[in-house]
Structure 1
Amino acid sequence: MAKGKYEEWLTADGLLKLEAWARDGLTDEQIAHNMGVSTATLYNYKRDHIEILEALKRGKEVVDIEVENALLKRAKGYKYTEVTKELITNKETGEKELVVTKEVIKEVLPDVTAQIFWLKNRKPEWRDKQEMYMNLNATDTFDDILSQLGGKGLEE
């Protein structure tokens, strides 16, 4: 009896490969292509085999955290040292070697766009569309709902 294609992805090596592709930032479409299956088939594998779903989730989690950290770093600004090296010929031996000729501390200023993006995604009050949370239940009348929104009811 022929073995189903999904079974190779349930092995330790298969799951590790899936996790690595997700960690490398590949989309589900790209991962499906690497597996030799359609995207719909990959979605079926994820639905039917929790091991595949969790391997992909673990891999994506790692890269998501790395991107979050990079965005935060860019939003806040940072300093780094730029090192310049030159190829110098050693006069005694005639060998060429890379030698540090200059080190400069550079500063990347905080990025306003990154700050806005961060705040809109992390703080509801910064979002373009404010969410309104009301204390409503299934028995509320139209007038009750309007009054909570600050409007006038039909009876007025």
Structure 2
Amino acid sequence: MAAKKAQSKKKSNAGRKGLYKEWLEPDNLIRLEGWARNGLTDEMIAHNIGITTTTLYEWKKKYPQFAEAVKRGKEVVDIMVENALLKSAMGYSYDEVTQIGIEDGETGEKILVPVKVVTKHVQPNSTSLIFWLKNRKPEAWRDTKNIDAAVEVKNPFEGIDTADIKKLIGEE
């Protein structure tokens, strides 16, 4: 019975060992990149593949193309978020289009026709501005400042004997 368990363990491990090869195929590398771009964490990506997070980290170390696919996906999202933060910080304008549905006389299908376009402006977001400045120019905008100043501390009891101090406070 122990031999059967050992043999079945070998079979299941052998099946798992080859799993990384399929994830190095171009279609699966694109899938990895997409998951990362969609904001999945490493833990979620590992779950989707059917491996542990530890195995995922090992694969990223062993197989550069695997690590690059995940990295590329995350970089895209980081850039998109940075752009959205900057847009929010600076404010922006957009066109709001009001449409109505009418019936196409020829086909009988309903189509949307724009009837009004209004340009709207979104004011700069002060929280985004503060966040951007604190992170991009911390030396000027950080809440806490590091000030290197020499401070001289004088001991008011310097030169007075310990016995005299004890007498002053009433211990002797």
TM-score, length basis structure 2:
0.70
Deviation at 1:130, TM superposition (A): 4.3
Distance 1:73 1:100 in 2: 27
SS class of match (1:102): strand
Does 2:41 align with 1:27? yes
Moved more, 102-111 or 46-55: 46-55
CA RMSD of aligned residues (A): 2.4
Query: 1:66: Cα distance to partner?
Result: 0.7
Larger radius of gyration between Structure 1 and Structure 2: 2
| Aligned-residue offset at 1:151 | 3.4
**Residue 14 of structure 1: aligned partner:** 28
| CA distance in 2 between partners of 1:35 and 1:95 (Å) | 44
Which one is further off, 87-96 or 25-34? 87-96
Gaps of 5+ in 2: 1-13, 154-172
> What are the within-5 Å matches in structure 2 for residues 73-84 of structure 1?
73-84=87-98
* Structure 2 counterpart of 1:121: 135
| CA apart distance, 1:37 | 1.1
Q: Which secondary structure does the structure 1 equivalent of 2:59 belong to? A: helix
What is the TM-score when the length of structure 1 is the normalising length?
A: 0.77
Q: Which amino acid aligns with 1:128?
A: D
Distance 2:63 2:21 in 1: 10
Give aligned pairs, total: 139
| Structure 1: runs of 5+ lacking an equivalent | 133-147
> Deviation of residue 127 (structure 1)?
2.4
In 2, Cα distance between equivalents of 1:29 and 1:60: 14
Q: Is the CA contact 1:124–1:131 (under 8 Å) kept in the aligned structure 2?
A: no
Give aligned-pair identity as a percent: 58
Report what 2:160 is aligned to.
none
Contact 1:81 1:105 in 2 (8 A): yes
**Does structure 1 residue 150 correspond to structure 2 residue 150?**
yes
- State the partner residue of 1:145: none
SS of the counterpart of 2:101?
strand
State how far apart, in whole Å, the 2-side matches of 1:94 and 1:17 are: 41
